[in-house]
Structure 1
């Protein structure tokens, strides 16, 4: 991949075609040219990291309730819309191991802070040989600070849907590697920003013209073609 170009991340895999956060979607993205993948991590009742966007299983499975109230065994009895069980993080890591693809792992702790999730995830990641360092992100400031205490050498980025008055200062003072905003941040200082969730072509073109570091999209093949049209 060309590091001078905006990196295109498959947001929860390839939701335009496959079930969100499904191994099927991630497997397709890995094999078919995605430059990066993004996904969300929670902990089960028995402390096992799993991949799903919402705190509750209602929207994307045939079950109801909070992930935190399911043991892994109970959770695995539910099914995504494609019939697969909710993926364990270790299953997705196994798919990504050794692949030339960027990884953005979001700690989904903005509403529920799972005790020990930072140590659990960071320790699990050490068991694999990823080609690129994982980009860790979260809306929860405390989660990122907990991670920095455990392993300050990793890449941590602050997720936000709010307007940030001085993003360069936020990044520098907190030793973050960048910021992941919901829309483009015009900054007098150069900042690393990866923007979510970009599915509108006209919006994407504007971001590509700014050469933002990355975008997260539900349709990565479309955005790859558009990016290359704009950036050459």
Structure 2
């Protein structure tokens, strides 16, 4: 299910990093308020098993703290600050923000390096407590995570993230019962598969994606890419 029928969905990658701290509530709020098609964000677990939003496994780059996120309790993590002074957001805070809003969510399980035990069930159960206007798109670089999710709830949308070449993406999707693939570069064939490309910030690359009518793109500048999309896809 896509928000804009027959148009490529433009996702705010980690919110709106071109203007706000990445994976911040401010960035997500801007996307919701100003009509972004969708938002994308990364989920990990604290030491006490609370799902929070952060891309890196370590807190060093995006906060004023040092160390692995997994070694912080929620209370300890919330004492750190993003570049804009905000604390690291909880998944439930983002869910509350988009609850009953016309925006597509892409939730990435950040389990490619550290596989957080039980993260799939924790996240899927939390999502049941909210009302979303569109089905959540769950993605991960980690094959095991996606298969675990399918065992817990086979009726959700699961997509495989990859930065490697895929010889036969249609077969990969069919064999694993995935809903689509999220490659780093535009794949040659688009008709047989649902693909969402990351991270598209170059207008020329974006135009090619829009001309190919891919299912979606992830971008750090959703207003610019939405403008280009609307010029290409009328």
Please indicate, yes or no, whether the TM-score normalized by the shorter chain is above 0.5: yes
Partner of 1:59: 61
> Is the aligned partner of 1:225 residue 2:210?
no
Corresponding residue for 1:41?
43
Name the CA distance, whole Å, in 1 between partners of 2:231 and 2:196. Answer: 19
Question: By how many angstroms is 1:190 displaced?
Answer: 1.3
Contact 1:135 1:155 in 2 (8 A): yes
2:190–2:212 Cα contact (<8 Å) kept: no
Name the structure 2 match of 1:131. Answer: 133
Question: 5 Å matches for 1:109-124?
Answer: 109-124=111-126
Q: Secondary structure at the match of 1:8?
A: strand
Task: Measure, in 2, the Cα distance between the counterparts of 1:170 and 1:190.
Answer: 12
Shift of 1:2: 2.4
CA distance in 2 between counterparts of 1:231 and 1:28 reads 24
Task: Structure 2: give runs of 5+ residues left out of the alignment.
Answer: none
The residue matched to 2:64 in structure 1 has which SS?
coil
Q: TM-score, normalised by structure 1?
A: 0.99
Decide whether the 8 Å contact of 2:78 with 2:88 is kept in 1. Answer: yes
Match of 1:208 among 201, 207, 210: 210
Within 1, Cα distance between the matches of 2:180 and 2:167? 15
The correspondence for 1:50, drawn from 45, 52, 72, is 52
Equivalent residue for 2:9? 7
Give the direction of change, closer, same or farther, for the CA distance of 1:30–1:164 in structure 2 (3 Å limit).
Answer: same
Tell me by how many angstroms 1:188 deviates: 7.5
Q: Distance in 2 between matches of 1:2 and 1:40?
A: 23
- The reply to whether residue 95 of structure 1 matches residue 87 of structure 2 is no
Specify the alignment match of 1:108 in structure 2: 110
Partners of 2:14 and 2:207 in 1: how far apart?
Answer: 22
Q: Deviations over 1:52-111 (max 9, x none)?
A: 110000000000100100000000000000000000000110001000000000000000
- Out of 168, 175, 186, the position equivalent to 1:166 is 168
Question: What CA RMSD, in Å, does the superposition of the two structures yield over aligned residues?
Answer: 0.8
How many equivalent pairs are there? 232
Contact 1:41-1:51 within 8 A present in 2 as well: yes
Give the superposition deviation at 1:3. 1.8
Mapped to 2, the partners of 1:225 and 1:86 lie a distance apart of 30
- Matched residue of 2:217: which SS? strand
Determine if contact 1:168/1:189 at 8 Å carries over to the other structure: no
Large movers: runs of 4+ above 4 Å: none
TM-score by length of 2: 0.98
Does the 8 Å contact 1:48/1:72 carry over to 2?
yes
